[in-house]
Amino acid sequence: MKKILFIAPSGALTHEANLDRAAAYFSARGWQVQASDNLWQKYQRFSGDDDLRLHELHAAARSDAEVVMAVRGGYGLTRLLGRIDWNLMRTAKKIWVGHSDFTAFHLALLAQTKAPSLAGPMACYDFGNEDVSPFTERHFWRLIKGDEVSFKVKASRQPELAVKGRLWGGNLTVLSSLVGTPYLPQVRGGLLFLEDIHEHPYRIERMLYQLELSGCLKQQRAVLLGDFSGYQLSAHDNGYDFGRMVAHLRERFKVPILTGLPFGHCTDKLTLPVGAMASVVSERGGYRLTFSRH
């Protein structure tokens, strides 16, 4: 029987019923569900203090679970990056899955060990819903099985291109906070995917400028923007919205910027392999993204 381990390396759990539903989801598909000891802990806004969360992350690497999945995001992994045993993570050879704050782990793992991981659904956030998205689960299981995925992103008015590169990225706020640290991968010729939630377009623009001015974007073959929802515009914006922001950056930056990627804090999301090779090819009415877990 295959085993999946739920971990809580960031924020404290807020919806117990979601965790029960997630466990039932995997059990019904023949997986043995395990849970880290700190899953129900609460220390301030975190699922236990830093020492406990670090201990459980190391315990997950030593476990016999094939898949290790974050239950939720929030904040907390950045506190642990400098103390994680990255050699242990390199030799663990787990399939690590999550998004949001788990981006810090994805990127640090790639930077420190070159090991891939999966940016995708989380236990409570996705598999704990009363109605699990068929789109999300279909693409998740394809990556778990190691299948190649070739997905047509339907999005009008995209740059024309046909490129290959290493696929990497995640939550924009988390990623930009790692600029200048040893935990941001130095990917040349990459395909950078990004998402965020509750961030106004001007904040998104500011973080993308940070990546541009730091030299990160100049090294990429393409930037793929996913879901950026949950923000509110005001009269003060005077027509400045997400679309105007993207148009401005396309004029200023040399790297092609594509939109419409189904990934992020959205119901229907792809599972994306952080660190694997991929390709992006323009097609009528959008572009095709092709990748596999390896």
Amino acid found at 96? W
Catalytic residue (one of 10, 36, 47, 100):
100
Catalytic residue (one of 10, 117, 265, 279):
265
> What one-character DSSP code corresponds to residue 123?
I
> What one-character DSSP code corresponds to residue 105?
H
Alpha-helical regions (H) of the chain: 16-27, 50-62, 86-92, 103-113, 134-145, 172-177, 201-213, 242-252
Count of residues for the chain?
Answer: 294
Please count the CA atoms within 13 angstroms of the CA of 52 that sit on its side-chain side.
17
229 burial class (0-12, 13-18, 19+ CB within 10 angstroms)? middle
Asked if 280 and 222 touch (Cβ cutoff 8 Å), the reply is yes
The answer to whether residue 195 is catalytic is: yes
The answer to whether residue 100 is catalytic is: yes
For residue 270, which phi and psi values (nearest 5 degrees)?
A: -70, 160
For residue 40, which phi and psi values (nearest 5 degrees)?
A: -105, 5
For residue 14, which phi and psi values (nearest 5 degrees)?
A: -120, -20
Catalytic residue (one of 195, 200, 205, 279):
195
Residue with tokens 């339907």: 154
3-state secondary structure of 6: strand
Q: How far apart are CA 286 and CA 159, in angstroms?
A: 9
Would you please indicate which residues are annotated as catalytic (active-site) residues? Answer: 100, 195, 265
